[in-house]
A and B are shown apart, each in its own frame.
Chain A
Amino acid sequence: MADMLEIRWHGRGGQGAKTASLLLAEAAAMEGKYSQGFPDYGPERMGAPMRGFNRISEEPIRLHCAIYSPKIVVVLDDTLISTADIASGLPDDGIIIVNTLKKPAEIRAELGLEGRMIYTVNATGIAIDEIGRPIPNSPMLGALVKVSPFLPLESVIEQIKKKFSHGFRPEVLEGNVRAINRAYEEVTSE
């Protein structure tokens, strides 16, 4: 299972962390990979900190326990940095991607973290511009596959199209696609 990629998403209820993790699982499967997507479940409602998870592998995935040491952590809301233990279990070569206006170095300072790689992108801004709503999950998927190219951008976009082709206006779909592309371009490293 050495080749298995594990990802943890941090967000608040309503920001789409669960949707993003499920969407990513589907996109990976579409690429012929094996995948899992699952959220933490509790009684929390809109606004509460919550987490989503992914496993992605070339081989069938048998593990059904919690993810303790993700390779990548995606943070949908930078206000979580001070409250959620976002670096928990992250190995030295792990990656953190944060939706924020701040620079990676500022995030590193806030976290007091050494090692690992930190990336930032203004996903909320992009979402407001392109989709008209501050839902950062789609652009963060774009940033994620840029930082760790385990999936082609096209397959994520394809999955988004599938997801939004039913029951959504075409503008929403197109906005999401633009948002993913922009985040893919705009995500910055240290």
Chain B
Amino acid sequence: MREKSWREIPIGGMIEDAGNADTYETGSWRTYRPIWDAEKCIHCLACWIACPDSAIQLKDGKMVGIDYSHCKGCGICAFECPDKIAALEMKLETEVND
């Protein structure tokens, strides 16, 4: 985002664009990446409700993927995924072919 002059921004430090942090990508913070196996997933949403970064993507109440532009790779999702299901796995970024 270009840094604006004092004449161009709202006064009082107001941020008018709700949720614009969305445009700030924290995906680069990751050292580990969650890899999701859609076949195994039972859509219990344990990962989604626990994710601190709103990075589990849903559609119609079902998991559809991971928002890697924001996921910081904390691994909560994989930890919370039921052991029997194991639809999420953490892999080192350096080992993942993108």
> Quick check: do A and B touch in the complex, using CB within 8 A?
no
